[in-house]
């Protein structure tokens, strides 16, 4: 009987060429698939919730795969953890509904961008692999004021890499917040889906507003222009982390086993 198993995965993206399997390159998907095939003893296609870029991290990446193996999910998790390199961790493994697909079943996901905002280098706090270092003044109140303009459904074609082609460039942002925690500024962006590099460009635009190069009230016009040259820079990847992905509750549990049927009555 085929089963559908969901993995929740954490990884340090520094030394990976992103999530997606690529011939001859070290990727998160490639590393996990290679180990997984040795555990369940058949080829596997691990479908991730999204393709994080080279250098981008994850605390809550989600992936699923189909298998006929009878190995229990927690044993699969422990076997993966014991064989994978130290920069990948499997947080959970669960049997889920056959219709669960990590990519298309997602309701929302949240990314956090961390800016280390201090004159000293982040290596002093062992944060240099996970933050972008900014030592110049940033006005966090201006950034907060602007962030709210991202919320809602907008055409974000001005906030993606030039040349990217999609059927629709409309994406819904559910929340965008800017907070300070000691030496770090955290920009959290929650949405139903994102274009390529959208979050890093959103953060780059808020960064320029924080520096005083743009006004917070100019953001609606920048979004409406759909012009990539009007938005900010694409921020470096090391500050970005996929924190979590949310799914409908009914897809996170396997279907109830069918009740046995009575054998047919013997015929004369």
By annotation, the residues acting in catalysis are 53
> 99 by DSSP, 3-state: which?
coil
- How many whole angstroms separate alpha carbon 49 and alpha carbon 105? 9
DSSP-derived secondary structure for 200-219:
HHHHHHHHHHHTTSS-GGGH
Phi, psi of 219 (to 5 degrees): -65, -45
Give the residues across from 246 on adjacent strands. 108
- How many whole angstroms separate alpha carbon 264 and alpha carbon 186? 65
- 121, 133 Cβ separation under 8 angstroms: yes
Kindly state the tokens that stand for 95. Answer: 């049997």
Question: How many angstroms separate the first and last alpha carbons of the chain?
Answer: 35
CA distances from 168 to 122, 153, 164, 165, 243 (A): 39, 12, 11, 9, 25
- How many whole angstroms separate alpha carbon 203 and alpha carbon 186? 10
- How many whole angstroms separate alpha carbon 165 and alpha carbon 48? 20
């Amino acid at each position: 009987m085929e089963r559908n198993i969901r993995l929740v995965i954490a990884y340090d993206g520094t030394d990976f060429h992103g999530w997606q399997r690529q011939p001859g390159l070290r990727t998160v998907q490639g590393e996990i698939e290679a180990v997984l095939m040795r555990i369940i003893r058949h080829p596997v296609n691990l479908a991730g919730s999204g393709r994080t870029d080279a250098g981008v991290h994850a605390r809550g990446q989600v992936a699923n795969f189909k298998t006929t193996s009878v190995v229990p999910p927690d044993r699969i998790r422990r076997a993966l953890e014991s064989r994978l390199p130290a920069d990948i961790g499997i947080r959970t493994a669960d049997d889920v509904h056959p219709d669960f697909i990590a990519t298309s079943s997602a309701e929302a996901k949240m990314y956090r961008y961390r800016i280390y905002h201090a004159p000293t280098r982040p290596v002093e706090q062992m944060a240099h692999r996970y933050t972008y270092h900014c030592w110049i003044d940033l006005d966090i109140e201006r950034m907060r004021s602007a962030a709210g303009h991202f919320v809602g459904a907008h055409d974000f074609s001005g906030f993606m890499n030039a040349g990217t082609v999609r059927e629709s460039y409309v994406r819904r942002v559910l929340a965008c917040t800017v907070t300070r925690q000691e030496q770090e500024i955290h920009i959290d962006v929650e949405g139903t889906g994102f274009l390529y590099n959208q979050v890093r460009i959103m953060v780059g635009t808020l960064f320029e507003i924080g520096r005083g190069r743009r006004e917070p009230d100019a953001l609606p016009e920048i979004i409406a222009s759909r012009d990539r040259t009007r938005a900010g820079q694409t921020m470096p990847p090391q500050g970005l982390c996929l924190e979590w992905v949310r799914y409908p509750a009914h897809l996170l549990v396997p279907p109830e086993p069918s009740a046995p049927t009575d054998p047919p009555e013997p015929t004369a």
